[in-house]
Amino acid sequence: MPNIKISPSILSADFSKLGNEIQDLEKAEADFIHIDVMDGHFVPNITIGPEVISKLRKYTSLPFDVHLMISSVDNFIKSFANAGADIITIHPEATKDLVGSIEKIKSYNKKVGVSLSPQTSVDKILSVLELVDLALVMSVNPGFGGQKFIKGVLEKVKILRKEIDSKKLKTVIEIDGGINFENAKLAKNAGVDILVSGTTIFKENGGNLKKNIELLKTG
């Protein structure tokens, strides 16, 4: 099993003190900071934009793992790249030219991710796996935190793991949505490299970030 990394989702953080929350996550040995960007159009919720991300950048040196749930995504890639995103993940449905959007992200020297919603076939991204750094499998329907984990998406993880390993690609697999201490084990066994978790990290064990991150990594 690979060395599992944790990308805490700040969707579950206290938005009145986001900078401090991010600093606490770094002290708790998080590997990334996962930032969900929603536009109220591609998904039925609105979160934060590039200006907030640029203000948060000074609080940590951890990579910003930015998941864009917006359309048309090409109009916003430059703004998020300039705001301080390190990884920019997009949905195939949010662009008319997936390869073109991937190349656009790379042109800003950023890592690229592609995301699969629960209803999206894994076939949508198999052809671009060798072009991207990260494949994000959504284990809830995108839009809101705190949802129940959809176990069936683990089949997509297994397919991706097999494809990546057989072609000896460096692409990593991330899973996001309803991750807790129990299903994290299932995700790791299926072949995930990075766990995104919000509610579990911020709420379990009295909000002990370090303990919860460690339990997700090693449990």
Domain boundaries of the chain, sorted by first residue: 5-218
Split at pLDDT 50, 70, 90, the class of 45 is confident
CATH number of 5-218: 3.20.20.70
Greater model confidence, 41 or 179:
179
The residue from 24, 31, 133, 176 that is catalytic is: 176
Structure confidence at residue 46 (pLDDT): 83
One-character DSSP codes across 29-96: T-S-EEEEEEBSSSSS-B---HHHHHHHGGG--SPEEEEEE-SSGGGTHHHHHHHT-SEEEE-GGG-S
Segment 185-201 mean pLDDT: 97
The residue from 31, 36, 39, 65 that is catalytic is: 36
Which residues make beta-bridge pairs with 4? none
Structure confidence at residue 219 (pLDDT): 83
- The Cα–Cα gap between 205 and 189 comes to 24
174's CB contacts (< 8 A; 6+ apart) are 7, 65, 113, 134, 135, 136, 137, 192, 193, 194, 195, 196
Segment 94-106 mean pLDDT: 97
- Quick: pLDDT tens for 113-142: 999 999 999 999 999 999 999 999 999 988
Segment 190-218 mean pLDDT: 97
**114: which DSSP letter?**
E
Segment 186-191 mean pLDDT: 98
- The Cα–Cα gap between 211 and 115 comes to 28
Structure confidence at residue 214 (pLDDT): 98
178 pLDDT exceeds 70?
A: yes
21 pLDDT exceeds 90?
A: yes
Q: Is 24 among the catalytic positions?
A: no
Segment 25-41 mean pLDDT: 95
Q: Is 176 among the catalytic positions?
A: yes
- 80 contacts 88 by C-beta, under 8 angstroms: yes
145 pLDDT exceeds 90?
A: no
Q: What is the pTM of this model?
A: 0.96
